[in-house]
């Protein structure tokens, strides 16, 4: 639980520090908000590697211009994070990440293009990353549920993490 709080704290700090123009946001879009990863697959020409069970908490936060994501290893020992600017073109089913910072320095400056669609509270995307396609499914975190969890945990003297529970 402590590691999840650390992850959320890191994400909040990253979003605040990385968005100096946050006060002049673009009009909102359907991706804005907090998302929890449901599944992740690496799709190679001859095989598919399911990464879904390889990680602990995995959260992505988007405002109208920037994204930040972070995840912890299943044992809670390490946190990986990254973020930058993004473009979303729902009329063409296109989502593009312009990575400005990443735990893996070789990813800094990389642009990733995804075919993307949102159906209700579920976001699907797939895109080329080197020699494989990255296929991910994300679920929107319900802010009302997070608020209820916070109220419950506060009455017990505990904190909670955004996206820690099911949406």
Residue 167's pLDDT band (boundaries 50, 70, 90)?
very low
Is the pLDDT at 16 greater than 60? The verdict is no
Question: In this structure, is residue 99 part of a structural domain?
Answer: yes
Question: In this structure, is residue 37 part of a structural domain?
Answer: yes
Question: In this structure, is residue 165 part of a structural domain?
Answer: no
Question: In this structure, is residue 167 part of a structural domain?
Answer: no
55-108 pLDDT, tens digit per residue, is: 888 999 999 999 999 998 888 888 999 999 999 999 999 999 999 999 999 999
Q: For the domain that residue 44 is a member of, what is the CATH number?
A: 2.40.128.490
Residue 145's pLDDT band (boundaries 50, 70, 90)?
confident
Chain-wide mean pLDDT for the chain? 83
Question: In this structure, is residue 65 part of a structural domain?
Answer: yes
- Copy the structure tokens of residue 69: 């994501």
Give the predicted TM-score (pTM) of the model: 0.75
Question: What is the per-residue pLDDT for 53?
Answer: 80
Stronger pLDDT, 82 or 159, i.e. the higher one: 82
Structural domain count of the chain = 1
Helices within 62-124 (DSSP H only): none
Chain Cα centroid distance, residue 53: 16
C-alpha–C-alpha distance, residues 69 and 42, integer Å? 18
Question: In this structure, is residue 160 part of a structural domain?
Answer: no
Question: In this structure, is residue 163 part of a structural domain?
Answer: no
Question: What is the per-residue pLDDT for 98?
Answer: 98
45-55 pLDDT, tens digit per residue, is: 999 999 888 78
Domain range for 25 is 2-155
Distances (CA, A) of 3 to 29, 38, 142, 164: 30, 19, 21, 11
Question: In this structure, is residue 106 part of a structural domain?
Answer: yes
Q: Reduced to 3 states, what is the DSSP secondary structure of residue 33?
A: strand
Q: Please say whether the dihedral angle defined by the alpha carbons of residues 55, 83, 10 and 150, taken in this order, is positive or negative.
A: negative
């Amino acid at each position: 639980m402590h590691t999840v709080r650390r992850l959320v704290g890191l994400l909040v700090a990253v979003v605040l520090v990385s968005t100096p123009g946050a006060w002049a946001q673009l009009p909102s879009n359907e991706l804005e908000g907090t998302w929890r990863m449901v599944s992740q697959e690496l799709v190679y020409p001859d095989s598919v590697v399911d990464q879904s069970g390889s990680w602990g908490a995995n959260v992505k936060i988007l405002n109208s211009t920037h994204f930040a994501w972070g995840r912890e290893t299943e044992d809670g020992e390490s946190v990986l994070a990254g973020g930058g600017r993004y473009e979303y073109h729902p009329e063409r089913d296109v989502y593009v990440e312009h990575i400005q910072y990443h735990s893996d320095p070789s990813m800094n400056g990389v642009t990733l293009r995804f075919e993307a669609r949102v159906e209700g509270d579920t976001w699907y995307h797939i895109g080329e990353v080197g020699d494989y396609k990255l296929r991910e499914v994300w679920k929107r975190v319900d802010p009302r549920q997070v608020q209820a969890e916070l109220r419950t945990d506060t009455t017990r003297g505990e904190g909670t993490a955004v996206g820690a529970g099911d949406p």
